[in-house]
Structure 1
Amino acid sequence: MVRPWHSLPQAYDLNRPAAPARDTIRLMRPFRRHSLLVPALLCALAALTARPTAAIGDTDGPEGLSAEVARLVEKASAMTQRYEEGRRKAGVQRARAKRLERLLARERRNIAVLHGDLGRIARAQYRSGGGLPHTAQLLLAESPEEVMRGQRAVWQADLAVNNAVTKSRRAEARLATDEAKAAKAWQTLGRRNAKLAEMKRGIEQQLEAAQSTLQGQANASVAAGACRGAVRLDQPKTGFTAAWVAPLKTYELSAGFGSGGKHWANRHTGQDFAVGIGTPVRSVGKGRVVRVSCGGPFGVEVVVRHRGGYYTQYAHLATVAVDQGERVATGQWVGQSGMSGNSTGPHLHFEVRLTPYHGSGVDPVRWLAERGVRLN
């Protein structure tokens, strides 16, 4: 199962010559001719031919496959956002249910106190003669004032009892209502989480199959040292007002400029963005494509020249969406991310250079920040 973009492991560029590709040779044993084998072989061939198309939908040709992956990436991204939003709502709902449970416990304690009050009032009435008939109280009274005091005491006692009974009944009614609300909240929480999880799994399974096929085509291009040509994707109308943008819509930063380690021959020459295979990659600014390459340690790559003499590189792609010499606008898709070339995982390797060539890089994060683009 494909993990969300933010949980992808850190991937690295190996800026050394790529090892020769190894061709897997499947040996097939000779088989005896037999008339019954012909239908079986034809059926098997038909099944193998139809299987990739059934797995990833209507994706005839490179453009269809790339468009399918781009669509699934966007769908998975939107589903992930919905899933995270559902998790946040679930957290709010869980806190609300816990508050209801605390309220229920408090109301149960209040009912217990009310029942205790009723008992005390009843016992006080009994000790003070509250149980005597009203006629007997009048006959035994020594003065009208005593009769009135007794009457007021009886009224107050009756009022206290009635109030206590009313409060108890109201509290019990609230208790029953709140118990029903708490149960409904937990049921809604469970149904929502289960539905979101199921939808997310389904999209990720489709995306995984399409990504695998797309990356296989990219690896074949790198091994041959020749690109398949620009894949023209239906790009959304963004209408960027800023002159510069980040190379990806959503991402997580991984290896940074100048970092060292066993994964590079020297120092890391760019900024890595951890994203899934097939994620649309944008040109950070307007310019002209000066290089489209599908061989070497960077795999499938695009280099764009911008005003001021700076160049940006987009490497380890799965596909390219532009041709060499083409002018591109700010935010225009130049390809789709992948893990072609010397890469240990799906990501975009992004460089800013003083020349079109490797070895003239500057810090991409600082360079973009100077142009109003702050990476997070």
Structure 2
Amino acid sequence: MTDAAVAPPYMHRHGEFDPDPSIARVREQAGIARVGTPFGYEAWLVTRHADVRRVLSDPRFGIELPAECSRRLADEDMTDEEVFRERAGDLLSQDPPEHTRLRKMLGPAFTVHQVRRLGPWIGQIVENHLDRMERTGPPVDLVQAFALPVPSLVICELLGVPYGDRTSFRRLASSPLDLSLPPSERTTAFRQVRAYMAGLAHCARIAPGEGLLGTLAREHGHELTTDELAAIGHLMLLAGYETTANMLALGTLALLRHPDQLRIMRDRPDAVEAGVEELLRWLSIITTATTRIATEPVEIAGRRIEAGELVLACLPAANRDPALVPDPDVLDLTRGTRGHVAFGHGIHHCLGAPLARAEMRIAFPALLRRFPTLRLADPRTEVRRRPPGFFHAVTCLPVEW
């Protein structure tokens, strides 16, 4: 088992929102740098918007890493068979044609049309939590009262997670991604989540319900193994819960720190869609896209990347690239840039992006209109953040109104 390491600079933030200044220097100078990772291997860090999009869409950069890398990420004692089983069904570790096969099965559940049908139901979940906040009265921790439970309830309902399991499951789901924990604890948490999902997958095979796992078992059960069903459920939980929860908390903090932009989100329904896109670009809560590996020599930003070398696409650097938008460090909800890479790019573009967008477009205006005087309980204090890692996140957000 590898030892926990200090997160490298590209995982850090300057203040509450901005990427570490060293990332901007890399982007402005060479555009690419050789960096270490918390897992003991080195990789190329790509920072410019055009280069990031190229890495994420060029088939010469594969996503299926050697088994040795997987062992470094998790447990060095894993056998090749165990690595294979943990990868089965995981779209973020599969290249075509396996990725194409899995995504084709999942795609219909996350179309814009399908997600639009969920709008009233998501709206009701949001209103129920706002009602609870109003009954409790200020101050409240917005993370625990709103940002975490809303997407958690949405994705658990979609997956078919039993109601009584949701609180403990939410805690387990985030532990494998917490770089402040020792690797052994992260590995244990990962396996606990996967074992839980395997149990759900087994139940879905026996008695398919209306959730995503039940639908997949009913319609594609002969094509999917239980390991694949479990991995799909695990990925959907991660993609549909962790990222959206962090966006709701950090997005609200960003708006509270920029009252002029808050008023746009609250008072202009026509600007909500653009506003959500700008928050996604400006916050870039995911530090890097999933690690790629060069399958043949490729030149990026004037540097030759050899076959077998690993590449990280730095999403915050790409989304703050002046080549994408003018004044990229300014939060401007009226521009709504759609070329950002907050959800990735290419064939691995986040499958749940339509669902995440729908939740944010409903949740932000509803929160701000219900509590038009929403404010930080102590605006002078910097909000506590998670240790640097895969996600930029706050641990609590005390607010009042």
| Structure 1 and Structure 2 fold alike (TM over 0.5) | no
Q: Which has the larger radius of gyration?
A: 1
Structure 1 or 2: larger strand share?
1
Under TM normalisation by the shorter chain, which class is it? under 0.3
Structure 1 or 2: larger helix share?
2
| Structure-2-length-normalised TM-score | 0.22
| Structure-1-length-normalised TM-score | 0.23
Larger RCO: 1 or 2 (CA < 8 Å, sep 6+): 2
